[in-house]
Amino acid sequence: MTVRSRRETVVFKRPFRIASIERLLPAGSYEVITDEELMEGSSMPLYRCVATRMMLPAPPRSSVVEMVAISSTDLSAARAMMCGRPESDVPVDIGKHRDMPSPDFRRMLAEIESKALRGQQPLLESELPANPAQSLAGALPVLKGSGRDLRIDACRGIALWCIFLDHVPNNIGSWLTLRNYGFSDTAEVFMFLSGVTCTLAYGKASRCDGWASVVSRTLWRSWDIYAAFLLLTLACAILVYLAGGGTIADESNTRILLEQPGAALAHAAILQYRPVNSDVLPLFVIYHLLFAPLLWLMLRMPNVMLGASLLLYALVHVFGWSVPAWPNDVWFFNPLAWQLLVVLGAWCVMEGKTFWPWVTSRTALAIAILYLVFGLTIAFSWSIRPLVPQMLAELAYLLDKSNLSPLRLLHFVALAILVAWVVPRDWRWLTTPVMRGAIRCGENSLAIYCLGVLLALAGRIVLIDISDRLAMQITLSLAGILVMIAAATFLNSIRIKPAASTIGGKTMIS
């Protein structure tokens, strides 16, 4: 077995903790040594981490240096400790050796590298962790945050901005969103990422607190979304009433609520009536209500569950199954069809190691780019008809959003493959002010979504009653996004994290 050692410098910008050290460690540079072994049976030389150690500078006025055995997943800049495997988090007991000369780490590292070249096992510790830790390269982005993949919240935040821009009719800002450049839009992105985040959050809850906790959390989250939906329905009606009703009452589907409040609220209570742009919330009420049994089954037979989800999706398109609504006949987002994206997100978390090599292959990238170009061509046909054959332009009629048309589904998958290629986990642009704003919005997705619906409705009222000129459209678009970022920042600053709603120091957002 070929073993090598690798040393890197990790910079912490603020004090942090790891599970093997009781005290709060100061910000600064730390040397990390990773022991890696060559994985057999691979077509190319791949190494996996078998042990990770970090050299900790001693307190001031001391020349002693500590070396502790840690797991890569335990390195964190978070405010609280993270769960880790005890067998890989035992610190080296050097307290009784404080009077001995400091070890020569340069000489030690030279010996490690020399032994690795000769195929010998490095002996920094008497025992290596029983379970290999993840590679340090994959763990480094975690050091800068709470352990959550920042790409998830960044994508959800951008999706929330795009949903707001799309919800304002005749808005120039909507040309910055996905819907004008392909078959799918940000609704698919938002639904898929919700499946990912629910699986990560509730999956960790099942390991730490058991299934009773998972059921409790899913029910409470479903209730939160249900209450938010009812409050949003009332807020939309009040805003339209204050604006004087008129055409905006018809556009927002609130006229029936203003004229028949009793019947409308009764149907809203059973998720059959929804004002315009609030359609996604009833879906999440149902999905969270059912997520505990879904997760239980996904953990045991993920491929079977994905197959069952695909079968239900196919039957919806064959037999036209749907869920009744009021006063219209069906839901705008058919939950029997859109469940596929939630299940697909959960399956990707469970089976990511299996299909990831194909997703990151050049073949998948080429197919994805070709399909995205095809979708872009069709999308342009809606605006530039002479440039596209009529036969292709007629494909627009197959893009049924209510039932998640297969063309839309494939377009989203192609887009996800492209993003996986061009946006790595440690993407440096994630630390820019714009991306930090998106991440904050993604961390508070429920509140920011509801705020975006109200801002879009208010923006439409302004465009109707005051001015619909280009300058006003740009101003409303920018102002709305800034208000969403400000609200998310405020929510982060006041958030209190009770034990019942946090997991490992992270608030569950879905």
On whether both 80 and 130 belong to a single domain, the answer is yes
Distance CA 331, CA 282 (A): 10
Distance CA 216, CA 499 (A): 13
* pLDDT of 136: 29
3-state secondary structure labels for all residues of 101-118: CCCCHHHHHHHHHHHHHC
CA separation, residue 351 to residues 92, 288, 372 (Å) = 36, 21, 25
On whether both 171 and 127 belong to a single domain, the answer is no
* pLDDT of 282: 96
Amino acid letter, residue 62: S
Distance CA 12, CA 437 (A): 22
On whether both 320 and 403 belong to a single domain, the answer is yes
On whether both 112 and 173 belong to a single domain, the answer is no
* pLDDT of 27: 74
Distance CA 487, CA 160 (A): 13
Q: Is 385 helix (H, G, I), strand (E, B) or coil?
A: helix
- Give the residue from 110, 141, 172 where a domain finishes: 141
Has this prediction a pTM greater than 0.95? Answer: no
On whether both 172 and 317 belong to a single domain, the answer is yes
What is the Cα 203 distance to its own chain's centre? 14
On whether both 358 and 399 belong to a single domain, the answer is yes
* pLDDT of 328: 81
On whether both 359 and 438 belong to a single domain, the answer is yes
- Give the residue from 101, 123, 141 where a domain finishes: 141
Q: Where on the phi/psi map is residue 23: left (φ > 0), alpha (ψ -120 to 50), or beta?
A: beta
* pLDDT of 214: 93
On whether both 136 and 240 belong to a single domain, the answer is no
- Give the residue from 84, 112, 141 where a domain finishes: 141
On whether both 159 and 204 belong to a single domain, the answer is yes
Tokens 């707001």 found at: 164
On whether both 229 and 100 belong to a single domain, the answer is no
On whether both 302 and 361 belong to a single domain, the answer is yes
Number of domains in the chain: 2
Q: Which residues of the chain have pLDDT under 50?
A: 58-103, 105-106, 109, 112-113, 116-146, 497-509
Sign of the four-CA dihedral 219, 222, 228, 230: negative
Q: Is 46 helix (H, G, I), strand (E, B) or coil?
A: coil
On whether both 129 and 226 belong to a single domain, the answer is no
CB 90 within 8 A of CB 67: no
Per the structure, the complete domain to which residue 103 belongs is given by 3-141
Distance CA 201, CA 502 (A): 9
**Model confidence over 246-296: pLDDT tens digits?**
889 999 999 999 999 999 999 999 999 999 999 999 999 999 999 999 999
* pLDDT of 357: 87
* pLDDT of 23: 62
CB 448 within 8 A of CB 487: yes
Distance CA 173, CA 161 (A): 10
